[in-house]
């Protein structure tokens, strides 16, 4: 049969020599290889103590943003829910009443804002869709929970701490994603 | 006070020594399991157990606790008494070996001259052989009583493997005994302490055969056919749980320690520290140094066992039998003839 390429190699069917049949030399060679691995650098990352560095564009759990005066930015326009390919976001809008100006930036706000983290695919389209810079993805990644309900994150889980009253928690939550 | 013409102090001394040796063996075995995991991990570029305590040093205690807390299961179809007897027998047989191993020369404690050996039997090596072959009964009985075809297969393999390799082991030892002229382990070690060279220099081939067969006797990889997971699920201890399983696993490690101790005593000078004059320090300190030396030799042998385990894959069963019968036994016979010829020529 004509070969298609010139890469074919004949199989070596030479009988083993006496030294090869003793195996001992090859066993010692193998043992040297395993021994050399004792001095190799371990690639292990000891997880809770050490963490792998994320890329600056890492997309983790969502955060609902506040402005510099600590007011919620979200106006419950629903663009994020429309953009979401996994249909993970639901919200209910409410009108801001007299005296709530310090809480919400605009006249309309999200009374209920839920993201189902089991549905979410962390694509970041909600972040792109938001006209108010109200939602972005942080560097925290998917947590554990005991129930499926626990994965539906409401406003208390998502809102970033108030920069005026809890400055350090705000800075921590903000992370590198300024 | 004497009982049956026996010194009571002598009995107490021996009992204390038995307790020390048994508990020390168990403790070392406990940490050998840890060592096994650590060595395996380091040879494979992993950190190994590191969570329990500093450097994971409490890991074996956690493992032991876990084993004890597990449910004791005796299968309905199992032969109940034999099922319980199996692990006990395996453990007893492996612990009994330590009776004749000389752990050190002798110490003077409270005015008594205490030899650091439980019993200096003049047929020491024969005793070791007898007890080691008893260990197969533990495996055989456990495998048979489980009423599980895989356990039975594994037990059969273990028995035939042990019988095949004991032959070569015995033949390799006969060559050694021809040079030493004694079966007592104490005498063999003392000869090496006083002589210039360790026995391994006179019997390199004999040692190699003994080492390979010892590995097979301990069911260690590459000879761990009785525990071949991919063919036999788990091996002869498949139906066992809790501490009964722990006994089987433990017995394997104690076997390893004991065969390391025997190899160190017979071929590598036992408690003899090379280039060190024992007479230059107090006898008690010299004895302690001897014990430490023997322990270091044992640890080195155990490391060698583990190193080989994590390098070489398992044999196929026919290859295993072929190696035993067609290679090791003729080699051991040849070694015996050679030794005999040299001894005759020297006469």
Of A48-52, A79-83, B81-85, least confident by mean pLDDT is A48-52
In CATH, what number is assigned to the domain containing residue A135? 3.30.70.3270
Cβ–Cβ below 8 Å for A44 and B312 = no
Residue pLDDT, tens place only, B148-206: 888 888 888 888 888 888 888 888 888 888 888 888 888 888 888 887 788 888 888 88
Complex ipTM more than 0.90, yes or no: no
Amino acid B5: pLDDT: 65
Amino acid B4: pLDDT: 65
Is the predicted pLDDT of residue B285 greater than 90, yes or no? no
* Candidate from A31, A43, A44 with C-beta closest to B311: A31
Cβ-in-10-Å burial (0-12, 13-18, 19+) of B92 comes to middle
B202 Cα to chain A: minimum distance (Å): 20
Amino acid A82: pLDDT: 92
The whole-angstrom separation of Cα A154 and Cα B267 is 73
Which of A30, A34, A35 should we substitute to test contact with B (largest number of B Cβ atoms within 10 Å)?
A34
Residue A19 lies in a domain: no
Closest-approach residue (CA) in chain A for B45: A42
The chain A residues in contact with chain B (CB within 8 A) are 27, 30-31, 33-35, 37-38, 40-44, 46
Number of domains in chain A: 1
Amino acid A177: pLDDT: 45
* Candidate from B45, B46, B312 with C-beta closest to A30: B312
Amino acid A79: pLDDT: 92
Residue A37 lies in a domain: no
Task: Point out which residues pair with B304 in neighbouring strands.
Answer: none
Residue A100 lies in a domain: yes
Residue A48 lies in a domain: no
**Which whole number is the average pLDDT over B115-142?**
82
Residue pLDDT, tens place only, B208-236: 999 988 888 887 878 887 777 777 777 78
Residue A44 lies in a domain: no
Residue pLDDT, tens place only, A26-42: 888 988 988 888 888 88
* Candidate from B42, B50, B312 with C-beta closest to A27: B312
Q: Is A106 helix (H, G, I), strand (E, B) or coil?
A: coil
Residue A133 lies in a domain: yes
Closest-approach residue (CA) in chain A for B306: A31
**Which whole number is the average pLDDT over B88-114?**
81
Q: What does the domain layout of chain B look like in residue ranges?
A: 2-346
Contacts of B85 (CB under 8 A, 6+ apart): B141, B145
Closest-approach residue (CA) in chain A for B44: A37
Q: How far is CA B118 from the centre of its chain?
A: 16
Average pLDDT over chain B, rounded to an integer: 84
Cβ–Cβ below 8 Å for A46 and B43 = no
What confidence tier does A84 reach under pLDDT thresholds 50, 70, 90? very high
* Candidate from A27, A35, A42 with C-beta closest to B46: A42
Which chain A positions have a beta carbon within 8 Å of B42's beta carbon?
A: 37-38
Amino acid A162: pLDDT: 78
Is the predicted pLDDT of residue B44 greater than 70, yes or no? yes
Cβ–Cβ below 8 Å for B45 and A37 = yes
Residue pLDDT, tens place only, A124-166: 899 999 998 889 888 877 678 899 888 898 888 888 887 777 7
Which chain A positions have a beta carbon within 8 Å of B44's beta carbon?
A: 37
Is the predicted pLDDT of residue A173 greater than 80, yes or no? no
Amino acid B235: pLDDT: 77
Average pLDDT over chain A, rounded to an integer: 84
Closest CA to B228 of B135, B145, B157: B157
Cβ–Cβ below 8 Å for B42 and A38 = yes
Of A19-23, A45-49, A157-161, least confident by mean pLDDT is A19-23
What confidence tier does B281 reach under pLDDT thresholds 50, 70, 90? confident
What confidence tier does A85 reach under pLDDT thresholds 50, 70, 90? very high
**Which domain, by its residues, includes A115?**
62-174
B173 Cα to chain A: minimum distance (Å): 21
């Amino acid at each position: 049969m004509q070969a298609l390429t010139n890469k074919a190699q004949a199989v070596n069917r030479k009988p083993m020599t006496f030294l090869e049949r003793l195996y001992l030399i090859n066993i010692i060679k193998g043992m040297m290889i395993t021994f050399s691995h004792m001095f190799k650098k371990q690639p292990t990352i000891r997880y809770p103590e050490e963490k792998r560095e994320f890329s600056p564009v890492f997309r983790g759990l969502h955060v609902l943003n506040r402005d510099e005066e600590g007011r919620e930015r979200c106006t419950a326009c629903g663009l994020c829910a429309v953009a979401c390919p996994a249909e993970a976001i639901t919200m209910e809008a409410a009108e801001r009443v007299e005296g709530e100006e310090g809480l919400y930036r605009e006249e309309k706000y999200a009374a209920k804002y839920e993201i189902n983290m089991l549905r979410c695919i962390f694509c970041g389209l909600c972040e792109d869709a938001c006209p108010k810079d109200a939602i972005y993805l942080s560097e925290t990644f998917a947590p554990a929970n005991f129930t499926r309900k626990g994965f539906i994150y409401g406003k208390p889980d998502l809102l970033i701490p108030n920069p005026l009253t809890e400055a350090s928690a705000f800075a921590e939550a903000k992370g590198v994603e300024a | 006070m004497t009982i049956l013409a026996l010194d009571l102090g002598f009995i107490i001394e021996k009992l204390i020594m038995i307790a020390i040796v048994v508990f020390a063996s168990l403790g070392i075995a406990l940490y050998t399991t840890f060592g096994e995991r650590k060595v395996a991990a380091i040879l494979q570029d992993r950190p190994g157990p590191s969570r329990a305590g500093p450097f994971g040093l409490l890991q074996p205690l956690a493992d032991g606790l876990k084993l004890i807390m597990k449910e004791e299961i005796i299968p309905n179809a199992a032969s109940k008494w034999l099922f319980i007897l199996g692990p006990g027998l395996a453990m007893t047989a492996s612990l009994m070996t330590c009776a004749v191993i000389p752990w050190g020369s002798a110490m003077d404690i409270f005015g008594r001259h205490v030899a650091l050996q439980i019993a200096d039997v003049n047929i020491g090596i024969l005793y070791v052989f007898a007890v080691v072959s008893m260990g197969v009964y533990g495996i055989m009985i456990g495998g048979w009583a489980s009423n599980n075809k895989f356990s039975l297969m594994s037990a059969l393999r273990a028995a035939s493997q042990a019988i095949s390799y004991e032959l070569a082991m015995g033949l390799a030892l006969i060559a050694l005994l021809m040079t030493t002229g004694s079966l007592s382990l104490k005498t063999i070690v003392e000869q090496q302490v006083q002589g210039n060279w360790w026995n391994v220099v006179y019997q390199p081939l004999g040692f190699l055969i003994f080492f390979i067969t010892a590995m097979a006797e301990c069911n260690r990889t590459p000879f761990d056919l009785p525990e071949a997971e991919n063919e036999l699920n788990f091996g002869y201890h498949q139906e066992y749980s809790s501490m009964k399983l722990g006994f089987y696993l433990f017995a394997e490690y104690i076997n390893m320690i004991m065969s390391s101790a025997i190899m160190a005593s017979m071929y590598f000078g036992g408690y003899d520290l090379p280039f060190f004059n024992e007479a230059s320090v107090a006898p008690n300190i010299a004895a302690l140094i001897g014990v430490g030396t023997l322990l270091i030799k044992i640890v080195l042998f155990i490391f060698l066992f583990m190193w080989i385990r994590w390098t070489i894959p398992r044999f196929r069963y026919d290859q295993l039998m072929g190696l035993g019968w067609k290679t090791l036994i003729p080699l051991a016979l040849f070694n015996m003839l050679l030794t005999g010829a040299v001894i005759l020529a020297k006469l």
